Each structure stands twice: as structure tokens, then as C-alpha cells.
């Protein structure tokens, strides 16, 4: 469940930092009752970036499959073994 806090609570920086470290999701900051900002720990941010990269690579792979840009696995391994004498 997302955590939502008002912007006035940002005055206590050590408490906000601790809250970010304990959270597994971004924390939403509201101003006058409306969404204004999102904060998160570096750990959560890096995990989100990693997953975004994974999803982008999966989408690219699916696009290649849809375009028919695929190779036979056995033939590819055989070609690599011949090239490197393995």
C-alpha cells in the first residue's frame, strides 16, 4: 500500500530518511491535498531502474520474435563451438 504524507511533514528530515529506508515502495508527498512529489531510498530507486531495464529488454526481445528475427538455438551453439574450437 503506498504511503502518502503531507509536505509539511518534510521538516523532520531524519524521520523522513528513516521512513524511506524502511519503505519498499516510493513515498508520495502531497501539497494542498494533491500529489506533488515522490521520494524513495536509493535502494528502492536502483531496484526500480533495474526492473525497468529488464522490462525494456523483454519488450525488445518480444519485438524481435514478432519480426521473426530469431535463430535456432542448436545451430547457434554449433556455430559458436566451431568458431572457437570448443
pLDDT of 2: 86
Q: How far apart are CA 68 and CA 72, in angstroms?
A: 11
pLDDT of 79: 93
Work out the average pLDDT over 53-60: 98
**Contact present, 27 and 20 (Cβ < 8 Å):** yes
What separation in angstroms does the CA of 70 have from each of 3, 55, 63? Answer: 44, 19, 10
Q: How far apart are CA 78 and CA 84, in angstroms?
A: 10
pLDDT in tens, 16-54: 999 999 999 999 999 999 999 999 999 999 999 999 999
**Contact present, 11 and 35 (Cβ < 8 Å):** no
pLDDT in tens, 60-78: 999 999 999 998 999 999 9
Residue 86 has pLDDT above 90, yes or no: no
Q: CATH class for domain 3-84? A: alpha beta
Amino acid at each position: 500500500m503506498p504511503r502518502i504524507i503531507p509536505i509539511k511533514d518534510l521538516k523532520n528530515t531524519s524521520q523522513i530518511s528513516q521512513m524511506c529506508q524502511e519503505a519498499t515502495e516510493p513515498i508520495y508527498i502531497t501539497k494542498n491535498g494533491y500529489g506533488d512529489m515522490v521520494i524513495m531510498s536509493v535502494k528502492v530507486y536502483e531496484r526500480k531502474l533495474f526492473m525497468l531495464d529488464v522490462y525494456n529488454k523483454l519488450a525488445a526481445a518480444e519485438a524481435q520474435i514478432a519480426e521473426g528475427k530469431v535463430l535456432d538455438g542448436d545451430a547457434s551453439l554449433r556455430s559458436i563451438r566451431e568458431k572457437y574450437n570448443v
